[in-house]
Amino acid sequence: MGVVEIGPGRGAFKTRALARQGHETRTYNLSTPKVEIYTKMLCGYCTRAKHLLDSKGVDYEEYDITMGGEKRREMMERKPDARTVPQIFIDGQAIGGSDDLAALEREGKLDPLLGL
Ligand SMILES: N[C@@H](CCC(=O)N[C@@H](CS)C(=O)NCC(=O)O)C(=O)O
């Protein structure tokens, strides 16, 4: 099987489909947004949000703020009205929590935000 190069666009889906067919894939996506998620341990909503992001094949930075600390302070600075976790940011834009992420997905607005 040959090496298939995947350009910007629906990279993650294409890559997985080709990988299933036995192709070696190399992805490059010039418009990959930075996805960040503040979480706590044993947080079902956090798990749900991460599953959705995983299902999209996007990478994200996870900050576990179970113990508070600097990252919790940072989250509160970025989203002063945050009362729950997860708190999700895409390219610095505060998306909200798991329900907000799911709503974006239902409305077809998540993929464009993720550069998919
Ligand atoms: N509607 C929110 C609900 C999130 C939520 O209730 N998260 C819980 C943990 S799973 C929480 O943060 N509770 C308050 C706390 O832990 O301080 C969402 O979809 O993200």
Residue 96 Cβ inside 6 Å of ligand 1? The answer reads: no
Residue 86 Cβ inside 6 Å of ligand 1? The answer reads: yes
Q: Which residue's structure tokens are 């945050």? A: 82
What's the predicted TM-score (pTM) here? 0.79
In tens digits, what is the pLDDT along the chain, a chain of 116 residues?
Answer: 556 555 555 556 666 777 788 877 666 555 689 999 999 999 999 999 999 999 999 999 999 999 999 999 999 999 999 999 999 999 999 999 999 999 999 999 999 999 99
DSSP type of residue 5: E
Whether 36 contacts 94, CB under 8 Å: no
Residue 13 Cβ inside 6 Å of ligand 1? The answer reads: no
Indicate left, alpha or beta for 83 from its phi (over 0: left) and psi (-120 to 50: alpha). Answer: alpha
> Which residue has a Cα nearest atom 17 of ligand 1?
84
CA of 44 to the centre of ligand 1 (A): 8
Domains of the chain: 1-31 (no CATH), 35-114 (3.40.30.10)
What are the C-alpha distances in Å from 101 to residues 42, 98, 114?
19, 5, 11
